[in-house]
């Protein structure tokens, strides 16, 4: 089907999303911080990237998005966060994400956002 990289420091969130997408036939990799994510993105071409905006360390989700577009411009990126306002969603889209969603979200809602792009 395709491959997905999930970038989130919340291990439970990664596991829930990973289990869901694997059950739908996708290959899933996980990164718990921006540095790990960027290393994986340099080594593999992902069709999809799910990235939390708040990550540990000096780099955040927007940094991951910008760098992903450099290394893999065709990756479809969905960013998410527990915080939402117009500024955040605009920054995310300007950085190169295709979509933004606010946590908490339902798995099916995320799936539809990623794969039903009408």
pLDDT in tens, 5-57: 999 999 999 999 999 999 999 999 999 999 999 999 999 999 999 999 999 99
Question: What is the DSSP secondary-structure string of 24-89?
Answer: TT-EEEEESSHHHHHHHHHHS--SEEEEES--SSS--HHHHHHHHHHH-TT-EEEEEES---HHHH
Question: Under CATH, which architecture does the 3-105 domain have?
Answer: 3-Layer(aba) Sandwich (3.40)
On the question of pLDDT at 83 being above 80, the answer is: no
Q: d(Cα 58, Cα 54) in Å, to the nearest integer?
A: 10
Distance of CA 117 to the CA centre of its chain: 16
């Amino acid at each position: 089907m395709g491959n997905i990289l999930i970038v989130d420091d919340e291990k439970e969130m990664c596991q829930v999303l990973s289990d869901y997408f694997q059950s739908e036939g996708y290959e899933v990799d996980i990164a718990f911080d921006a540095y790990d994510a960027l290393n994986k993105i340099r080594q593999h071409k992902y069709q999809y990237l799910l990235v939390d905006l708040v990550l540990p360390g000096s780099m955040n989700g927007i940094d991951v998005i910008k760098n992903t577009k450099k290394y893999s411009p065709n990756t479809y990126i969905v960013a998410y966060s527990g915080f939402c306002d117009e500024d955040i969603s605009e920054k995310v889209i300007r950085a190169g994400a295709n979509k933004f969603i606010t946590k908490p979200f339902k798995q099916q809602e995320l799936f539809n956002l990623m794969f039903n792009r009408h």
